[in-house]
Amino acid sequence: MVKLVIDAKKCEVPVGTTALAAAREVGIVIPTLCSLRALRPNKACRLCIVEVQAPGLEKMVAASCDLLVAEGMEISANSAKIQKMRRAIIQLLLAAMPDNIAVKELAAGLGVFATPFAVAKRDACALCGVCIQACQEKIGVSALSYAAQGGKAADAVILDAERCVGCGACANVCPVGALTVQDKNDKRELSLYGETANVIDLVKCQVCGAPFATEKVVDLLRQRLKKDALTLDAVYCPACARERNPAPCFERAAI
């Protein structure tokens, strides 16, 4: 176990705990945007920053979602300096996504209701990268990437419809709803920034007839599982699969 102090609260947590998790353990709220349990920290949003003083080291600012606690650490999760830095970060996000409800709520929680920065005409994206990570690391497809034009910094995410299998994992992890997924008329539609980015046919359950997964997802699983017996004739939706207990059952990817 590791003993440390966060905002004057003593806590004791297992080795390997992040400062973010330790803070939550003792009821201290730290805002986050890009932190998801299923994905390794990518430190993109920086909203979870804290000031940390480890024994024998200089005080520094670090992303708490990727900071492992150490014996004797003193962490300030809500100092004046940290609050000022967080407000500047959320003001930038507010400028990039002025109409986004999730961003507005996050900003309001930090006492920010306006931004001094030039406001985008149209909501962009938090560029947190968790959709790219989910697609690459969890689904193994890599259909999403940052778009950078003319040597400038990336300002959007793009989707390669050919590669995309339509699992929906990216939409499930997007913290601001910039990527969405919807099943309608036997098709799955993925939208990015409010525009259709991909439409893929859904496969129907052989028992109840409900459309539930894309053919590309079924094909991908068949390749990965390498089971000859796994044919489309033996594909059941999650509900029917549970009743019959065949393996595997195809559910929309949820991370």
Chain residues binding ligand SF4 by CB under 6 A are 125-131, 134-135, 139, 141, 143-144, 157, 159, 164-170, 174, 176, 178-179, 190
| 31, 48 Cβ separation under 8 angstroms | yes
**Smallest separation (angstroms) from ligand FES to the CB of 36:** 9
Comparison of 77 and 129: residue with beta carbon closer to ligand SF4: 129
Token look-up 């998801």 returns: 36
> From residue 46 to residue 85, what is the string marking binding to ligand FES with x (rule CB under 6 A)?
xxx--------------x-x--------------------
**Smallest separation (angstroms) from ligand FES to the CB of 125:** 14
Strands 74-76 and 2-6: what pairing? parallel
32 binds, among ligand FES, ligand SF4, none (CB under 5 to 8 A by kind): ligand FES
**Smallest separation (angstroms) from ligand FES to the CB of 231:** 43
**Smallest separation (angstroms) from ligand FES to the CB of 100:** 16
| 158, 129 Cβ separation under 8 angstroms | no
3-state SS of the chain? CEEEEECCEEEEECCCCEHHHHHHHCCCCCCCCCCCCCCCCCCCCCCCEEEEECCCCCCEEEEHHHCECCCCCEEECCCHHHHHHHHHHHHHHHHHCCCCHHHHHHHHHCCCCCCCCCCCCCCCCCCCCHHHHHHHHHHCCCCEEEECCCCCCCCEEEECCCCCCCCCHHHHHCCCCCEEEEEECCEEEEEECCEEEEEEEEEECCCCCCEEEEHHHHHHHHHHHCCCCCCHHHCCCHHHHHHHCCCCCCCCCCC
129 binds, among ligand SF4, ligand FES, none (CB under 5 to 8 A by kind): ligand SF4
6, 21, 22, 33: which one binds ligand FES (CB under 6 A): 33
Strand partners, 189: 182, 199
52 binds, among ligand SF4, ligand FES, none (CB under 5 to 8 A by kind): none
Q: How many angstroms separate the CA atoms of 188 and 2, rounded?
A: 47
**Smallest separation (angstroms) from ligand SF4 to the CB of 184:** 15
Comparison of 46 and 163: residue with beta carbon closer to ligand FES: 46
75 binds, among ligand SF4, ligand FES, none (CB under 5 to 8 A by kind): none
**Smallest separation (angstroms) from ligand SF4 to the CB of 64:** 19
43 binds, among ligand FES, ligand SF4, none (CB under 5 to 8 A by kind): ligand FES
Number of residues that bind ligand FES (CB under 6 A): 12
Comparison of 144 and 217: residue with beta carbon closer to ligand FES: 144
Site residues (vs ligand FES, CB under 6 A): 32-35, 43-48, 63, 65
